[in-house]
Amino acid sequence: MLRLGTREFGPDEPVIMAIVNRTPDSFYDRGATFADEPALKRVAEAIDQGAAIVDIGGVKAGPGEEVDAAEEIRRTAGFVAEVRDRHPDVVISVDTWRHEVGEAACEAGADLLNDAWGGTDPRLAEVAARHGVGLVCTHTGGAAPRTRPHRVSHPDVMADIIARTTALAERAVALGVRRDAVLIDPGHDFGKNTRHSLEATRRLDEMTGTGFPVLVSLSNKDFVGETLDLPVRERLIGTLAATAISAWLGARVYRVHEVAETRQVVEMVAAIAGRREPRVARRGLA
């Protein structure tokens, strides 16, 4: 069972997390949801398309203009409160590595802290415990926030992923975060080259075998682009292929830009695997 906010998700229920960037320089949408109204429209559309979680981020993941904690809070906390007011049942996640931002987000109504930089600020897990919210524990191989990998080496990338993410997850549980509100994320692209991310996808069943629910953030990432030699806006099909493999191997939460397409993929995989029934089944019955 996975419990986040007021929602409970069954063991075979795939969960879609929609990305809402509150940044002017996102690699994908180039600031399309930086202003409040487009961002609120994005949230409403994502929920209508089947997203159970919205993940709100105030800092671009890659290198770029410096954004301090105060500015990150300005971009996210008030918006979290507005989303909470308009959509009381949606799970609100905030993508941050800073405990100050986590504190403000939780006070505004967040249900989940998405620590995409792998415990860089150990106090973030303490914030999650104190507020009774969930936590995503991500593998970055020790990379500093907003840095790109440079000649990175992993003798066994999945062994390192499992060791680091489960250590972060167990620490969070020890601090008081509910075990059924802790997720682990292999961190595609983060502290990894393309071959590492492909291997992490191929061996994802080893990660799902730990017992912690696995979140995958695959959407339009560089490992997809490099594998197919395609720019950002042409990576959807490759992303969905990686999503299907991840779904088959047991991923639970999918952090995405394209909600409707992802939902169709994970529901189809679940039906093939025998984990869900078709929405309709008329063929051959009349």
Residue 76 to residue 166: CA distance in whole angstroms: 28
Helices (H), the chain: 36-48, 69-86, 99-108, 123-131, 157-175, 194-202, 204-208, 222-228, 236-248, 259-272
Instruction: Report which of 82, 16, 7 is spatially closest to residue 257, judged by C-alpha positions.
Output: 16
User: Which are the catalytic amino acids?
Assistant: 221, 255
Q: What angle do CA 166, 217, 62 make, to 5 degrees?
A: 100
Please enumerate in sequence order all residues whose Cβ is within 8 A of that of 171, keeping only pairs 6 or more positions apart, or say none. 119, 122, 125
DSSP string, 198-256: HHHHHTHHHHHTTSS-BEE--TT-HHHHHHHT--GGG-HHHHHHHHHHHHHTT--EEEE
Which helix (H) or strand (E) covers residue 111, if one does?
A: none
Tokens of 24: 């002017």
| Residue 245 φ/ψ region, left for φ over 0, alpha for ψ in the -120 to 50 degree band, beta for the rest | alpha
Please enumerate in sequence order all residues whose Cβ is within 8 A of that of 60, keeping only pairs 6 or more positions apart, or say none. 21, 23, 25, 26, 27, 67, 146
Q: Label the pairing between strands 134-138 and 253-256.
A: unpaired
